[in-house]
Amino acid sequence: MNLSRSAFIAGAVATALVSLSPSAAAAKRPPQEKCFGISLAGHNDCAAGPGTSCAGTSKRDYQGNAWTLVPKGTCLTMPSKTSPTGHGQLSEFKEVRR
Amino acid sequence: MQASFAHALLETDLPEVDEHGRFNVYRNNLRITLRNALRTTFPAVEKLVGEDYFSALTLLYVERHPPRSPIMTEYGHDFAAFLSGFSPLSDYPYLADVARLEFARVQAYHAADTHNFRMDSEASAIAALDIRAMLHPSVTVVVSENPALSIWRAQLEPDATPLIPDATETAIIWRQDDLVTEMLAHADDALLLRHFAQSQTFAALISEFPDDPSVATLIARFINLAIAGIIVPTHTPIEGEMK
């Protein structure tokens, strides 16, 4: 590769990287998080398709090992009747009876 | 014996096979199970034609296209082709495209993992131009004469942006980390998607092109698609290059 081509490519890469501001990249898909313990029975998320023991298979309301995708940062504010903290959690938990 | 049993399961016009109806119970359960599998994979198609129509439509599909694999996530691979050949729906050509999109999403979920390009500095981005790359194994490109992606979104996301009639849309479906994602392809992406359908370097694509704005645009799109994880290195990066 000759020098002027290298310079041209470096310039184009630099321009492309600058135009990718973090906010523009984030706007493409709002960040979500898996939130455990907030799904009503049969309404847990998952896109694995038919024949999998996955989406829509939770048996009880607020099941501690079933999750729903929620906007990032909101999980810990969602009410959960089975969670020891009273709210959704970012990982599986053992349900408490109250 | 097996063939005639399978035939009897799918043939609707057979007389009662056993007097207690047990075979019919089995046959009915089989059809309902397959229909429910299609309902899970094609929720937007179901919304577009309505529940009753979808139910009748899928029972017909089950009869004509019984599963070839016991893996239910693979069932419906030719549902889109069935829809485009189904004359009562010929006024709704976008249905087949929506079905292709929905099937692609389920396949993307189960596709293999790979490593992404590192694009965290100008040097790593420039280096990526000379590395052999391919499309992520989860990628499907759905080229539609209709605004298929917008139609699909409008069915499943209540606050989706209103669609533009008569638009044509090319959608890219792939998996980002563990989430299946979809986006409209940029006008310049078609060339990149074709180029990277086989293992290639970006440098090979532009070697014959002069230094002009169209090459700068291609570089920008390549970086975008690489950051999104749509174009990935063909080989696992060697130790020390990994994140």
Task: Give every CB contact of residue B79 below 8 A, 6+ residues apart in sequence.
Answer: B38, B41, B42, B45, B61, B65, B99, B103
Query: Per-residue pLDDT averaged across A45-67, rounded?
Result: 71
pLDDT tens readout for residues B135-184: 999 999 999 999 999 999 888 876 777 777 778 999 999 998 878 889 99
Q: Please, which pLDDT band fits residue A30 given cuts at 50, 70 and 90?
A: low
Task: Considering only the beta carbons, identify the residue of B75, B125, B126 that sits closest to A50.
Answer: B75
Query: Per-residue pLDDT averaged across B78-89, rounded?
Result: 96
Q: Report the pLDDT value the prediction gives residue A22, as an integer from 0 to 100.
A: 54
Q: Report the pLDDT value the prediction gives residue A86, as an integer from 0 to 100.
A: 87
Nearest residue to B3 (alpha-carbon basis) of B83, B48, B60, B66:
B66
Query: Per-residue pLDDT averaged across B30-55, rounded?
Result: 93
The answer to whether residue B144 is domain-embedded is yes
Query: Do B76 and B148 share a structural domain?
Result: no
Query: How many angstroms separate the CA atoms of A6 and B126, rounded?
Result: 9
B19: closest CA of chain A, how far (Å): 32
Nearest residue to B168 (alpha-carbon basis) of B93, B73, B237, B228:
B93
Query: Per-residue pLDDT averaged across B47-76, rounded?
Result: 93
A55: closest CA of chain B, how far (Å): 9
A30 touches chain B (CB under 8 A): no
Q: Report the pLDDT value the prediction gives residue B127, as an integer from 0 to 100.
A: 92
Q: Report the pLDDT value the prediction gives residue B64, as an integer from 0 to 100.
A: 92
Contact of B35 with B51, CB cutoff 8 Å: no
Determine if residue B159 is left, alpha or beta; phi over 0 gives left, psi from -120 to 50 gives alpha, anything else beta: alpha
Q: Report the pLDDT value the prediction gives residue A23, as an integer from 0 to 100.
A: 45
Nearest residue to B141 (alpha-carbon basis) of B95, B118, B107:
B107
Contact of B152 with B214, CB cutoff 8 Å: no
A2 touches chain B (CB under 8 A): no
- DSSP string computed for chain A: --HHHHHHHHHHHHHHHHHS-HHHHHHHS--EEEEET-PPTT-------TTSS-TT---STT-TT-EEEEETT-GGGSB-TTSTTSB-BSS-------
Which 3-state string (H, E, C) describes B10-67?
HCCCCCCCCCCCHHHHHHHHHHHHHHHHHHHHCHHHHHHHCHHHHHHHHHHHHHHCCC
CA-only gyration radius of chain B, Å? 22
Domain count, chain A: 1
The answer to whether residue A81 is domain-embedded is yes
Domain count, chain B: 2
User: CA of A21: which chain B residue's CA is closest?
Assistant: B224
Give the structural domain span for A81: 65-89
Who wins on pLDDT, A31 or A12?
Answer: A12
Contact flag B122-A14 (C-beta cutoff 8 Å)? yes
Domain boundary among B92, B121, B147: B92
Q: Please, which pLDDT band fits residue A81 given cuts at 50, 70 and 90?
A: confident
Q: Report the pLDDT value the prediction gives residue B93, as an integer from 0 to 100.
A: 92
ipTM: 0.72
Q: Report the pLDDT value the prediction gives residue A24, as an integer from 0 to 100.
A: 44
Chain A neighbors of B216, CB-CB under 8 A: 8, 11-12, 15-16
* Phi/psi of residue A20, nearest 5 degrees: -85, 65
Q: How far is CA B189 from CA A74, B120, B140, in A?
A: 35, 22, 13
pLDDT tens readout for residues A63-72: 888 888 788 8
Query: Per-residue pLDDT averaged across B73-82, rounded?
Result: 94
CATH code of the domain covering residue B156: 3.90.930.50
Nearest residue to B162 (alpha-carbon basis) of B153, B174, B170, B175:
B153
Q: Report the pLDDT value the prediction gives residue B243, as an integer from 0 to 100.
A: 45
Q: What is the DSSP letter of B200?
A: B
The answer to whether residue A3 is domain-embedded is no
Q: Please, which pLDDT band fits residue A43 given cuts at 50, 70 and 90?
A: low
Who wins on pLDDT, B45 or A3?
Answer: B45
Give the structural domain span for B144: 112-243
Query: Per-residue pLDDT averaged across B59-70, rounded?
Result: 92
B96 touches chain A (CB under 8 A): no
Q: In sequence order, what are the beta bridge partners of B133?
A: B200, B233
pLDDT tens readout for residues B92-140: 999 999 999 999 999 999 999 999 998 888 899 999 999 999 999 999 9
Which 3-state string (H, E, C) describes A43-66?
CCCCCCCCCCCCCCCCCCCCCCCC
Q: Report the pLDDT value the prediction gives residue B133, as an integer from 0 to 100.
A: 96
pLDDT reading at B56 higher than 80:
yes
The answer to whether residue B137 is domain-embedded is yes
Token duo for residue A29: 């898909």
Q: Please, which pLDDT band fits residue B222 given cuts at 50, 70 and 90?
A: very high
The answer to whether residue A82 is domain-embedded is yes
Query: Do B183 and B128 share a structural domain?
Result: yes
Domain boundary among B40, B63, B92: B92
* Phi/psi of residue B182, nearest 5 degrees: -140, 145
Residue B204, CA atoms < 13 Å, CB-side half-sphere = 10
pTM of the model as a whole: 0.79
Query: Do B123 and B220 share a structural domain?
Result: yes
